Amino acid sequence: MRASSAAASCRLASVVRYLAVMRHAKSAWPAGVTDDHVRPLNARGRRDAPRIADALVELGWTPQMVLSSDSARTQETWARMADRLPETEVVFTRLLYHAGVGTLVRALAQAPNACTQMMVLGHNPGWEDAVAWLTGSSVRMTTANVALMTGEGPTWADALQPRAWTLSTILRPKELP
């Protein structure tokens, strides 16, 4: 066997990867709360989060793992979705609190490669920027919106390239039945 043939046969096969980029559900500024990190969801946010989870399940976009900001509103968003996605592992990290594209890409690149369906749950403007960087499409991400994307690569690190992802759809609570 020639060396180039051996190297080619040792390469990892490319895998289709699914990424859902979700902005937290609608939050509130209750009286006396001055720290952005501890803001809870408001009534609309508490209503919208489970509806989005139901839509993800209906579309077959069930994440195996969620990487989430550790803010109160992202944790509460996930708590209202979790019973509809019981097989999903979630990791809360301060790293994703108001993270930008670079931080998000670095975090996703560390995801287990066997995991092909991921969700990131966090904040704007970083999430809008990430969708634009990954897909080349400018998308408005209001609260509880989810951008569903597909990409390809043998590893998450390989797949996370600019404009290499296809934007499949945007889920918006206002457009759900």
Digit-coded pLDDT (tens) for 31-47: 888 899 999 999 999 99
Is 136's pLDDT higher than 60? yes
pLDDT above 50 for 57: yes
Which residue type is seen at 150?
T
- Helix or strand run (H / E) with residue 3: helix 3-10
How much is the average pLDDT of 4-25?
Answer: 79
Decide if 71 contacts 123 (C-beta within 8 A). Answer: yes
- Asked if 161 contacts 35 with a C-beta cutoff of 8 angstroms, the reply is no
Q: Residue 3's Cα: distance from chain center in Å?
A: 40
Residues near 32 by beta carbon (within 8 Å), at least 6 away in sequence: none
How sure is the predictor about 15, in pLDDT bands with cuts at 50, 70 and 90?
A: very high
Whether the per-residue pLDDT at 54 is higher than 60: the answer is yes
pLDDT digits (tens, 9 = 90+) for 69-124: 999 999 999 999 999 999 999 999 999 999 999 999 999 999 999 999 999 999 99
The answer to whether 83 and 138 have CB atoms below 8 angstroms apart is: no
Alpha carbon of residue 19 to chain centroid: 6
Residue 1, pLDDT score: 45
For residue 6, what pLDDT is reported? 47
**Percent of the chain whose pLDDT exceeds 70:** 94
Copy the structure tokens of residue 83: 């019973």
**Residue linked to tokens 């501890």:** 38
Answer for the pair 69, 46: CB distance below 8 angstroms, yes or no: no
Which domains can be identified in the chain, with CATH numbers? 12-29+36-175 (3.40.50.1240)
14, 7, 16, 77: which is closest to 41 by C-alpha? 77
The pLDDT value recorded for residue 5 is: 45
Confidence of residue 10 (pLDDT cuts 50, 70, 90): low
In this predicted structure, what is the pLDDT of residue 2?
Answer: 46
The CA R_g of the chain, rounded to the nearest whole Å, is 17
Q: What is the pLDDT of residue 88?
A: 96
Higher per-residue confidence, 114 vs 177? 114
Terminal Cα distance for the chain, rounded: 59
